[in-house]
Amino acid sequence: QSVLTQAPSASGTPGQRVTISCFGSSSNIRSNTVNWYQQVPGTAPKLLIYSDNQRPSGVPDRFSGSKSGTSASLAISGLQSEDEADYYCAVWDDSLNGRVFGGGTMLTVL
């Protein structure tokens, strides 16, 4: 059971906007920067958002990250079929003295 809580699944239709949330605590999300990873089943994860809201080069601006207090969010606008994947939040936890991942959210594009 992870210290970061994500809904196990989410869904949306093409063109829609969806939001995936990550709930943590004062020892992780409130204190440190959050990163998001996208993993298409059978492949390695890919960095999607770093430092709460920064996009690496090559990541479409349809993806955006935000953080407030002890929770973080990943928003995907203009949903596309290729966005169907698992999404993980990750952050350093000061209490555990280690890096933690959320349990992951499987996004289905209907």
Name the minimum Å distance from CB 76 to another protein.
Answer: 19
Name the minimum Å distance from CB 104 to another protein.
Answer: 4
Binding mask 34-53 for another protein (x = CB under 8 A): -x-x-x----xxxx--xx--
- Residue 37: beta bridge partners? 47, 88
* Residue 65 found at the interface with another protein (CB under 8 A): no
What are the angstrom distances between the C-alpha of 12 and each of 3, 4, 44, 46, 77?
A: 26, 23, 23, 21, 10
* Residue 5 found at the interface with another protein (CB under 8 A): no
Residue 32: CA atoms inside 13 Å, Cβ hemisphere, count? 18
* Residue 84 found at the interface with another protein (CB under 8 A): no
Q: Which of 7, 23, 30, 33 binds another protein (CB under 8 A)?
A: 33
b (16+ CB within 10 A) / e for 26-48? ebbbbebbbbbbbbeeeeebeeb
Binding footprint of another protein on the chain (CB under 8 A): 2, 31-33, 35, 37, 39, 44-47, 50-51, 56, 88, 90, 92, 94, 96-104
